Amino acid sequence: MEDETVVKAPMSREHRLFHAVEKGNLELVKELLEEGVSINAKDSLGNSPLIKAADEEDLDMAKFLIEKGANVNLRNTTGETALYRAVYRGNMDIVKLLVKAGAETKVKTVGGVSLVELADERGEEGILKYLLSIK
């Protein structure tokens, strides 16, 4: 029996971007964006790098992506936005950052869940009050 070696294909640049965001590797993210990878690329679930940064609760990464022009209102396949993920994680700093950057606050997921309902359901009273205070 011959020894079979598995040869993995190199990661695509988009895949490397998502991996860098997940690991908080800002330098690699900068490098990949300079190489031309779209800041609004989507993974197989429709998540953008900004959605990933919000989900990872990485404020510095989220700030950087927004400064570089990331679309704050992109939605994944279930209709979640970066703001939805920040509310889900209970991260008020990222919630405020996204709202200040123009994130829509009245959106609902494909399943019909609003940000206010999510905050209430998750017991995020501070975020709930904040969302309700936005006109």
pLDDT tens sequence for the chain (135 residues) = 555 666 666 779 999 999 999 999 999 999 999 999 999 999 999 999 999 999 999 999 999 999 999 999 999 999 999 999 999 999 999 999 999 999 999 999 999 999 999 999 999 999 999 999 997
**129, amino acid identity:** K
CA 35/CA 50 separation, integer angstroms:
18
CA 31/CA 87 separation, integer angstroms:
29
Map tokens 């123009």 to a residue.
Answer: 102
pLDDT at 4: 64
pLDDT at 7: 62
pLDDT at 91: 98
Q: What residues form DSSP beta bridges with 108?
A: 114
CA 81/CA 86 separation, integer angstroms:
9
pLDDT at 135: 73
CA 19/CA 97 separation, integer angstroms:
23
